[in-house]
Structure 1
Amino acid sequence: MGRFKNNSDDSTDAVVDISPLIDCVFILLIFFIVTTTFVEETGVEVDKPQAASSVQLEKTSIMIAITANGEIVYGGNEIGISGIRPLVKRMMQKEDVPVIIQADQNVMSGLLVRVIDEAKLAGAMKVSIATLKNQG
């Protein structure tokens, strides 16, 4: 009868160690932060023209904006027409990414053509113009 004792007066609490769970949560958090792709915006608001043939492009790209008054902006800073070629060359050294130009619909076509030309002279193979999808 001594083999099975019921020691009800022993009050041992079961403790769950949650430190491995916290480690797993932090590892998952770091994984999602590292693998997330961030889209770098141009830093200015432009009124894009509409087009019926609009398609979605890659998330990793060089975004250059042309405002209605002719300013050329990348990353919130005005770079001017002379800043396009060095910027695109530097970005193309890492990987071959497309150049997307967000031009205001009131931009003169000559300035838009010069921006496209500078990007292509810097080595960009794909240069696109950002538009809004036509809803009609």
Structure 2
Amino acid sequence: MAQSYQLSPQKNVLGQPIEACGLDPLTGFYRDGCCNTGPNDLGVHTVCCIVTETFLAASARLGNDLSTPMPHYGFPGLKPGDRWCVCAARWLQVQQAGAACPVVLEATHEATLEIVPFDILLQFAVIPETLH
């Protein structure tokens, strides 16, 4: 199904063009594989995470079950190792509970910085496999 809109180029927390977060499962508020955001994304799904079992369990305890599939929302349910665009405030909430998961800075939208301080993101950043 072709989308009839085109998002303008968006930037990551490093000020560079945003990179894809996850294609399997297909993530992003717009289900475009990127943590792009816009006025309809009220949850600010902008943090590109590599979810862990600890993160998923803590998130569920805090009221955000990311493991259970919800096909009617196009949500497959996550398992450890999946890359997913998580709501910035929710990621911060889980981090404050001591269960943060790794973050891919190159794929995390700059809007995240309005909610999560960069120094906290940096503490959980994964090192890119290749330098660009």
Bigger RCO of structures 1 and 2 (CA < 8 A, at least 6 apart): 2
- Settle same-fold status: TM greater than 0.5: no
Which structure shows the higher helix fraction?
A: 1
Q: Which has the larger radius of gyration?
A: 1
Which structure shows the higher strand fraction?
A: 1
After TM superposition, the score normalised by the length of structure 1 is 0.28
After TM superposition, the score normalised by the length of structure 2 is 0.29
